Homo-oligomer: A and B are copies of this chain.
Amino acid sequence: MATTTETAAAAPSLKRRFMELLAKPWSGVAMLLVFYLILIAVFSILSPFFFNTRNMLQIGLNVAYIGLMAAAGTPLIIAGGLDLSVAAIAGLTGVMISLLVGLGVPVWVAVGLALALAAAIGVANGLFTTRLKLNPLITTLGMMSIVSGIALVLTGGLTRPLMIPGFNWIGNERVFSIPIPLIIMVVTFFALWLVMTKTKFGRFIYAAGGNAEASRLIGIPVERTVIVLYVISALAGAVAGTILGAMLGAAGPNAAGSQLLTVIAAIILGGTSLNGGRGSVWGTLLAVLILGTLNNGLTLLNVSSFWQDVTRGVVLMLAVSLDQLRNRALGE
């Protein structure tokens, strides 16, 4: 024991200060940030094409629609929900806009109608999982199947053109050389951060997910909170679908479907707990950027998509290990 005390005394305030830093609530996010910076450094060294404003913005643009869905999914999962239908909603939205415009509806009215439809789907998800207490995984998986089925039926399975004057700028233009989709994503993250940390509603999100029973007993409208979050998630899916459609100039019935797992993975990698109660949008943002950067960097390095899969798996594990190292250090 004497020795332990000595060493503890020998490496005094410095180690302790470090431990205190590690114990801060944001230190998990900081770990991811460090990981992200390392990734950027590695790619900058390996590829001459990687580190420049243009490519960095390009990464942001590539992940914008994924980031949007992941952003909105974060508070939902924190509050104890789960939305597997979000990517299907993105697909349906693009299709709806294209079909409505084809029927002569002005494009922004069409967007509005598609958003309204998405909100309705969100309400349905919310009601089913809260009022009827159905399992969120099965419910939203079912909803995913229904929504993408409808999109397929509506289009007969075809990708529809979406080149509409006065519309595609939302996917293609830049403001001060920053792509608009990226701006929309960043603003969404920032707004959600404000809501989640600075407002009453935000407190309810964490409370509801942390302990729904206790929250109910102190008079927090748990169900309403969760329903609103399902609606936000569905709306984010719709905006993602709109942006994607505008970027691609076309709307596929299942345009974002392949990204569903990426969205969920980003949220969890960002430190949000599937059990609810814990997480932050900045973690999600970093996770989205890490996944996008990896994809971009490896492609620039001409790594085959198969090896990219292997690398992505390794990086996911490394990234999630970091947080565990931190917990170790804290003796938890």
Contacts of A141 in B (CB 8 A): 261, 265, 313, 316
Q: List chain A positions with a Cβ less than 8 A from chain B.
A: 128, 132-135, 137-139, 141-150, 152-153, 156-157, 261, 264-265, 268-269, 274-275, 304-317, 319-321, 324, 327
- Is B314 touching A148 in the complex (CB atoms < 8 A)? no
- Is A306 touching B134 in the complex (CB atoms < 8 A)? no
- Is A135 touching B268 in the complex (CB atoms < 8 A)? yes
Say how far A170's CB is from chain B's closest CB, in angstroms.
28
Say how far A70's CB is from chain B's closest CB, in angstroms.
14
**With contact pairs A133-B324, A275-B275, A324-B133 given, residues A317 and B138 touching in the complex (Cβ less than 8 Å):** yes
Say how far A287's CB is from chain B's closest CB, in angstroms.
9
User: Complex: how many Å from CA A312 to CA B147?
Assistant: 11
Contacts of A142 in B (CB 8 A): 312-317, 320
| CB-nearest residue of chain B to A132 | B324
Say how far A84's CB is from chain B's closest CB, in angstroms.
8
Contacts of A135 in B (CB 8 A): 268, 320
Say how far A297's CB is from chain B's closest CB, in angstroms.
16
Query: Nearest 6 CB-CB pairs, A to B?
Result: A149-B309, A145-B313, A146-B313, A149-B310, A142-B316, A152-B306
Selected contact of A317 from candidates B133, B139, B148, B153, CB within 8 Å: B139
| CB-nearest residue of chain B to A139 | B317
- Is A320 touching B265 in the complex (CB atoms < 8 A)? no
- Is A152 touching B309 in the complex (CB atoms < 8 A)? yes
- Is A143 touching B313 in the complex (CB atoms < 8 A)? yes
- Is B316 touching A265 in the complex (CB atoms < 8 A)? no
- Is B307 touching A138 in the complex (CB atoms < 8 A)? no
User: Complex: how many Å from CA A227 to CA B309?
Assistant: 25
Contacts of A310 in B (CB 8 A): 145-146, 149-150, 153
**With contact pairs A149-B307, A150-B310, A309-B152 given, residues A269 and B317 touching in the complex (Cβ less than 8 Å):** no
- Is A306 touching B157 in the complex (CB atoms < 8 A)? yes
User: Complex: how many Å from CA A206 to CA B134?
Assistant: 23
Contacts of A313 in B (CB 8 A): 141-147, 149
Say how far A121's CB is from chain B's closest CB, in angstroms.
11
User: Complex: how many Å from CA A134 to CA B320?
Assistant: 7
User: Complex: how many Å from CA A146 to CA B312?
Assistant: 7
| CB-nearest residue of chain B to A262 | B141
Contacts of A304 in B (CB 8 A): 153
User: Complex: how many Å from CA A169 to CA B283?
Assistant: 51
- Is A137 touching B314 in the complex (CB atoms < 8 A)? no
| CB-nearest residue of chain B to A141 | B265
User: Complex: how many Å from CA A313 to CA B305?
Assistant: 32
User: Complex: how many Å from CA A264 to CA B138?
Assistant: 9
